[in-house]
Structure 1
Amino acid sequence: MLDMLTDRCATMCLLVNLALLYPRATLLFQLSMSLDVASHWLHLHSSVVRGSESHKMIDLSGNPVLRIYYTSRPALFTLCAGNELFYCLLYLFSFSEGPAVGSVGLFRLGLWVTAPIALMKSLISVVHLVTAARNMAALDAADRAKKK
């Protein structure tokens, strides 16, 4: 859990700085922060309530997107690193285009490459949130049925 907490905190700090550097996109950064924290917290909470040993241990018969996300180390690494790299490049890009690669700045080129990865990571966060909410609803329904 500590690794997840430190990841969330570091990302939030970077996103707050990006909101200051790109005031027109502040709402998008706020939405990204909210989605990131809410999806991870609810996923972790539902894992703990279900009795899982780790938030990374999922029901393999469950959501196919999350199954790939958690069982494929290359996919997990690419999405997480690509997402963080996108935000880091956005930070650097606010100061400079970066060294030229052909006729394009390196930071701009990196943003074009990592933007789809960051978008995919956000979509997976939505899947996390929806799946965890459904799991919690099912657990609540089962608890209520036991009490009747």
Structure 2
Amino acid sequence: MYSSLQLGDSSHKVTDLSANPVMRFYYTPRVLTVFCIGNEVFFISLYMLHFMLDLSATWKAWGLVAVATFPIAAMKHIIHGVQLILACQQLGRLDTINRLEKVK
């Protein structure tokens, strides 16, 4: 978000066609919705499992939900790493441009 602010973008979700293909795919409305909901359901299921002490059918159901949504949550965190790398690269380019302008 900071790099978007520095670049003057209206939102950190704004991506142009030359942007990283992973980010273009991630920020399509349906994909972003699936990733956000899947991530939240994963952490809710972990929360529920933490407070259930017995191995009831409910515990097993939450366990299945956690297993099913783990890949979505893991991919969301990997994509956050990609976002961090891209933001660092953008800030580096912006800093280089600003330093070159000061030298002139």
Instruction: Calculate the TM-score normalised by the size of structure 1.
Output: 0.64
Give me the whole-angstrom Cα distance separating, in 2, the residues matched to 1:53 and 1:77.
Answer: 20
Any idea what SS the aligned residue of 1:105 has?
Answer: helix
Give the alignment partner of residue 37 of structure 2, picking from 61, 81, 95. 81
Residue 59 (structure 2) pairs with residue 94 (structure 1): no
Cα RMSD of the aligned pairs, angstroms, is 1.8
Residue 34 (structure 2) pairs with residue 52 (structure 1): no
Residue 68 (structure 2) pairs with residue 113 (structure 1): yes
Partner amino acid, structure 1, of 2:5: V
Give me the whole-angstrom Cα distance separating, in 1, the residues matched to 2:29 and 2:95.
Answer: 32
Equivalent position of 2:21 in the other structure: 64
Larger Rg: 2
Partner amino acid, structure 1, of 2:89: R
Equivalent position of 1:30 in the other structure: none
Give me the whole-angstrom Cα distance separating, in 1, the residues matched to 2:36 and 2:25.
Answer: 14
Equivalent position of 1:130 in the other structure: 85
Partner amino acid, structure 2, of 1:83: N
- Of all paired residues, the percent bearing the same amino acid is 39
Give me the whole-angstrom Cα distance separating, in 1, the residues matched to 2:5 and 2:63.
Answer: 41
Q: Which runs of 5+ in 2 are unaligned?
A: none
Worse-superposed segment, 56-65 or 125-134:
56-65
Partner amino acid, structure 2, of 1:113: A
Equivalent position of 2:100 in the other structure: 145
Q: Which runs of 5+ in 1 are unaligned?
A: 1-43
Any idea what SS the aligned residue of 1:60 has?
Answer: coil
Any idea what SS the aligned residue of 2:15 has?
Answer: coil
Any idea what SS the aligned residue of 2:51 has?
Answer: coil
Instruction: Calculate the TM-score normalised by the size of structure 2.
Output: 0.90
Give me the whole-angstrom Cα distance separating, in 2, the residues matched to 1:125 and 1:135.
Answer: 15
- Contact 1:98/1:107 (<8 A) preserved: no
Structure 1 residue 98: deviation in Å?
8.0
